[in-house]
Amino acid sequence: MTKKFWLMKSEPSECSFESVLARPDKTIDWFGIRNYQARNFMRDEMSVGDAVYFYHSSCPKPGIVGLAHVATKAHPDATQFDPDSEYFDPKSDRNNPRWVCVDITADEAVELIDLATLRQYSELTEMKILQKGNRLSITPLTENEYFFILNNLVRKKK
């Protein structure tokens, strides 16, 4: 199976990269996704080992803050069945769950890479996060986009 590449956004007040790194296993389930397209990415396209850029959104300094990877295949998101959860879905059926999640393992924190920085590079103009109106919490990256960011912005040449 071919490795895929993803940008996954989380509000740090909900789930920060630092909080995932602080967990003993450095892993968290990517719960609460209630957009069908993002759900379909997790359910149909993500595989264990896929590379992830962890992105903080809706905060004073949004941007890529960490490297991570997909640790499990998609499985039912437990929050859909919890009536006390803000992600509860009364229409979801335990025998045929509507919502899934994957587990993400944090690998390494990186120096913040914000949108303004990403916009500076013609190699990244097609990135979904840079397109007007794109608000998805999970977007695919091309292999070229992933490695351009890794080689030129994360692992800066000194």
Q: What is the pLDDT of residues 5-33, one digit of tens each?
A: 999 999 999 999 999 999 999 999 999 99
Answer yes or no: is pLDDT of 158 > 60.
no
Whole-structure pTM over 0.95, yes or no?
no
**Alpha carbons 15 and 58: distance in angstroms, whole number:** 12
- DSSP secondary structure letter of residue 29: E
User: Is the distance from CB of 104 to CB of 68 less than 8 angstroms?
Assistant: yes
Residue 122 has a pLDDT of 96
Question: 5-149: what CATH class?
Answer: alpha beta
Q: What is the pLDDT of residue 157?
A: 56
Q: Tell me the C-alpha distance between 113 and 73, whole Å.
A: 28
Evaluate if residue 42 carries a pLDDT over 60: yes
